[in-house]
Amino acid sequence: MAPAERGLRRALQRARPGRRLTLVLAVYLLLAGAITIRLVSVQLVDTEGYAEDAAAQTQQEIELSSRRGAILDREGQPLAISVPAAAVYGDPAAIEGAGIDPTWIAAELAPLLERPTGELVDELSTDRRFVYLGRQLPREVGEEVADLELPGVGVLEEHDREYPAGSLAAQALGHAGIDGDGLAGLEAAHEGVLQGTPGRLARERGRSGASITAANMEREAAEPGEDLTTTIDRGLQADTERILAETIDEYGAQGASAVVLAPGSGEVLAMASTPGYEPEAIEDAPEYARRNRPLTDAYEPGSVLKALTVATALEEGVVTADETLSVPAAVEVAGQRFTDVQTREDREADLGEIVAESSNVGVIELAQQLGPERLAAGLQRFGLGQPTEIGFPGESAGSLPAPDDWSATSLPTIAMGQGVSVSLTQTAAAFAVLANDGERMAPRLLRDEPAAPGDASRVDGQRVISPDTAAQVTGLLEGVVEEGTGTAAGVPGYAVAGKTGTAQKPSTTERGYEEGAYLATFAGYAPAEDPAVVVAIMVDEPQDEYFGGVVAAPAFAEITATALERLRIPPDDPRAAEEEEPADPDPEDAADGPPGISGPSDNESDDGDDPSNPSGGDEG
């Protein structure tokens, strides 16, 4: 090898260790930099995220239920309350981590929780960190479970919703779920007031999931909800439900509903539907029994609505209270013939006779003078076709078609309560206008009314008709009870104003009405000169007898008498108040039933020319 080559090789050999050192140093610096970046990320940039991950592995957070506010009657008596209860929970992951057989724990819990051992074993064999084993248990049961000191098992305080009066006003009150949230009725409508604010319990646990008993527990106390005081009179509510139940039994009806209002304030003193249900058995109750039907169900009011048609006619000046009208035996509109039940001949009749006898023909003649626009506007002012502002979940607004959508026969049929639908509360509120000198007070279910859901502009004291018109209509309605279709609604010692109604139920399967299915109604107020209560009652599908003056009027009288007594309203005539109850009405005198309507009908086929199979509506 030449000297030059040997020198180059030695130089290269001397250089290789230095290059290797440089390479090692470079790798070291790269690794150190990566570690430094990771440390910066962990300690400075992502500190919060890693802390949360660590907390999730070592801490458990449990929500503590708040005590739900009570619902009270107008005197402060409880209708719905929350009582202390216990919840038992398990931590299956902790049990598995500790190497404990869940069968042993389940066997210890089963007799206390009254649950099959196998079910508990299944729930304790999952990989979950939290599972409820029992809810809303008596506190004593919770104490017994706590005394067992079972690993992976804990006890929390919660609340059970109870209804001390049982089924009383159940549909209005609604109910709350197992987690304490309102699911229906007032419980749901005022959830934000009743619910309160849940608390928080945080505890530390080891790698196995077991609690670290020596570690501190963080507890944030729950804040209880506020109480609600309703306008309901508990005693009157109970009497109303009893009277409705007796009416159902007497007439074999499907159900019955009633609303009792204070006309000057709009306060609902009673809102009842029978049959009802026991709150603890709500899951077994049929939907019909669960609904608060005075608010959620709409029906055709029949002749009860004639009072509002007459009031509108008086207010618009198309007739006077003492005016005598020519009333023909029948009136024909668009090929359809309308008649009366009690009188089927041409005659002269004043307005008092037309209202007392519930004349279809007389009311139709008034409606024709009013015309669609004024009639619709008048009914709207009484609150038809719109919610009552009571703020109740599922409330029906009823139906009042716009005049542009009316058919050729809508004017006569709507004037006498057919082709329009209302809730029973709307009916009561409309009659409260007549009882309150023509001013409308929106119905309310709470004494100290909070802002109702969706109600930012509640208006009370709205003028609907003049005081003179209200007084004239009251006089006419007194005649209904004194000598017309509603004599069974009389209350001894008191002047009563009211109106009967009978209507067919629309078919749910086809156009027209359901054969043999009727609604008997009565709405009125007392004492007539200075009304203290308004009562509206509806009996659903009574059998055999179905006229409002026969079926609904007696129940109205009994509920009204009870309300006046509870409110300590003195009778107009104390001596008359001691007299016997009025005799049962003659069905012929109280006839206010569906009219004999002949000719083509907008609601069913052309077979409506048989008066025994009318196209619908109501003659009383």
Angle formed at CA 609 by CA 605 and CA 611, multiple of 5 degrees: 120
* Contact assessment for residue 302 and residue 522, using Cβ atoms and an 8 Å cutoff: no
Cβ–Cβ under 8 Å, residues 392 and 295: yes
Contacts of 528 (CB under 8 A, 6+ apart): 474, 477, 478, 494, 495, 496, 497
How far apart, in Å, are the Cα atoms of 504 and each of 133, 303, 385, 552? Answer: 52, 11, 20, 15
- DSSP summary character for residue 69: P
- At residue 250, the 3 state secondary structure works out as helix
CA distance 198 to 179: 11
Residue 52: partners with Cβ closer than 8 Å, 6 or more residues away: none
Closest listed residue to residue 240, CA positions, set 530, 463, 536: 536
Distance CA 109, CA 116 (A): 9
Residue 79: name the closest of 68, 94, 66 by CA.
Answer: 68
CA 169 to chain centre: 11
Q: How far is it, in rounded angstroms, from Cα 416 to Cα 360?
A: 7
C-alpha closest to that of 236 among 284, 185, 212, 272: 272
The DSSP bridge partners found for residue 211 are 205
Structure tokens given for 23: 């390479």
How far from chain centre, in Å, is Cα 440? 22
CB 70 within 8 A of CB 112: no
Residues, the chain? 620
d(C-alpha 153, C-alpha 124), whole Å: 10
Q: DSSP character for 442?
A: -
- Helix, strand, coil share (%) of the chain residues, nearest 5: 40, 20, 40
H or E, element range at 539: strand 533-540
Query: Where do we find the tokens 């409880």?
Result: 78
The strand pairing partners of 255, in sequence order, are: 540
CA atoms within 13 A on the CB side of 214: 1
Active site residues: 303
